[in-house]
């Protein structure tokens, strides 16, 4: 039995669209910050007779969700040369499927726990590749802090790696406007965007360029540039979805109001930048020293949202014996 913990990550340079849906190879690379809030803890027990059984927050999963877990287990079995079934028990501390990256933490924790439970000697790069099979963004949650997912062109070359950050500590304010379940999964929404949005090719082309600019800004510890690119990437990603048929629209009036509030904050001299994923909640990047000011400023402008302050968090790890 092995237990692992992992945290969600929020992309600053977004991943949206696949070039291979089976291997989960992205259309372009991405770059994210792993957070220190909302961890997922996953236990894998190998050698059960009744098949793979998956439960999330005490509820047994079926269909697509357990299918994705099985994909990861199958990959670990293939690599370890073992065939036994497993029981997987996962506990989330984040509202599931509300655009708060719960799947990234879940599949990073699963890959880490499963590799350990099956006795697979996997380094972080291999864990990243395994996690990617469950949910693309999960490959970045193997690592602490800033991580870059290199798009690659096959299973072996598509993995995330940690980036060194020498600037002032970062913070991410999660503005929760809804904890409801999203109506369209990111998987379906990505497919629809890639298949029907006339903006998709431009999104992919511009994402690759933006990723290089952001990687350079990280190397130079240029926070302002990273922030500007973060907002650009988020808005371009959502623009590509607006062009889909039928349109994919995760942003609500409250989300847009939060983007406006962040612009107002900047005009008042507090440096903050907004981003949003497959849901209405907004995440605001700032320097850790400014986190209190950002929460106070946003609360004054948008009192109905709940604010959670996150910082750079640790990568996935085995926690056996710690509980
Ligand atoms: O890995 P998925 O299928 O949950 O896709 C996540 C996509 C975004 O969160 C919207 C962007 C990203 O890069 O994390």
Domain containing residue 191: 170-311
- CA–CA gap between residue 42 and residue 102 (Å, rounded): 12
Atom 9 of ligand 1 has which residue's CA nearest to it? 277
Instruction: Say whether both 229 and 293 belong to one domain.
Output: yes
CA of 111 to the centre of ligand 1 (A): 17
When pLDDT is cut at 50, 70 and 90, the band that residue 38 belongs to is very high
Query: Within this chain, do residues 70 and 199 fall inside the same structural domain, yes or no?
Result: no
**Band (101; pLDDT cuts 50, 70, 90):** low
The pLDDT value given to residue 322: 56
Beta-bridge partners for 317: 5
Whether residue 224 is contained in a domain is answered as: yes
Q: What is the pLDDT of residue 23?
A: 97
Q: Which atom of ligand 1 is nearest to the CA of 138?
A: 1
Q: How many domains is the chain partitioned into structurally?
A: 2
94-98, 141-145, 173-177: the lowest-pLDDT one? 94-98
145: left (phi over 0), alpha (psi -120 to 50) or beta: left
For position 244, which CATH number holds? 3.30.70.890
Nearest CA to ligand 1 atom 6: 137
Closest residue by Cα to atom 8, ligand 1, is 277
Mutational pocket test of ligand 1: of 15, 230, 251, the residue with most ligand atoms within 8 Å of the beta carbon: 15
Report the candidate in 295, 273, 175 with the shortest Cα–Cα distance to residue 224.
273
Tell whether the model's pLDDT for residue 202 goes beyond 70: yes
pLDDT at 181: 66
Question: In the structure, which protein residues have their CB atom closer than 6 angstroms to any atom of ligand 1?
Answer: 11, 14-16, 30, 101, 103, 135-137, 186-187, 277-278
pLDDT in tens, 243-281: 999 999 999 999 999 999 999 999 999 999 999 999 999
Provide the CATH number for the domain around residue 20: 3.30.230.10
């Amino acid at each position: 039995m092995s237990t692992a913990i992992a945290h969600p990550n929020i992309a600053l340079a977004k991943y949206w669209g696949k070039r291979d849906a089976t291997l989960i190879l992205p259309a372009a690379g991405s770059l994210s910050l792993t957070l220190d809030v909302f961890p997922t803890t996953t236990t894998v027990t190998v050698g059960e007779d009744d098949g793979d059984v998956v439960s999330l927050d005490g509820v047994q999963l079926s269909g697509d969700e357990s299918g994705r877990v099985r994909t990861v287990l199958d990959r670990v079995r293939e690599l370890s040369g073992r065939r036994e079934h497993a029981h997987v028990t996962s506990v989330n501390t984040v509202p599931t499927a509300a655009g708060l990256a719960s799947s990234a933490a879940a599949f990073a924790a699963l890959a880490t726990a499963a590799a350990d439970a099956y006795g697979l000697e996997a380094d972080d790069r291999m864990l990243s590749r395994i996690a990617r099979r469950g949910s693309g963004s999960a490959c970045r949650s193997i690592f602490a802090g800033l991580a870059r997912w290199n798009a690659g062109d096959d299973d072996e070359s598509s993995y995330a790696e940690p980036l060194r950050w020498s600037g002032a500590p970062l913070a991410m304010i999660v503005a929760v406007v809804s904890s409801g379940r999203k109506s369209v999964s990111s998987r379906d929404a990505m497919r629809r965007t890639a298949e029907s949005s006339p903006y998709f090719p431009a999104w992919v082309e511009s994402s690759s360029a933006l990723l290089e600019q952001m990687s350079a800004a990280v190397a130079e510890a240029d926070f302002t540039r990273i922030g500007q690119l973060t907002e650009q990437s988020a808005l371009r990603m959502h623009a590509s979805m607006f062009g889909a048929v039928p349109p994919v629209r995760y942003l609500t009036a409250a989300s847009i109001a939060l983007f406006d509030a962040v612009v107002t904050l900047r005009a008042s001299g507090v440096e903050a930048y907004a981003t949003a994923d497959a849901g209405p909640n907004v995440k605001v990047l700032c320097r850790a020293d400014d986190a209190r000011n950002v929460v106070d400023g946003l609360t004054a402008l948008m009192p109905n949202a709940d604010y959670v302050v996150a910082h750079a968090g640790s990568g996935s790890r085995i926690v056996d014996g710690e509980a």
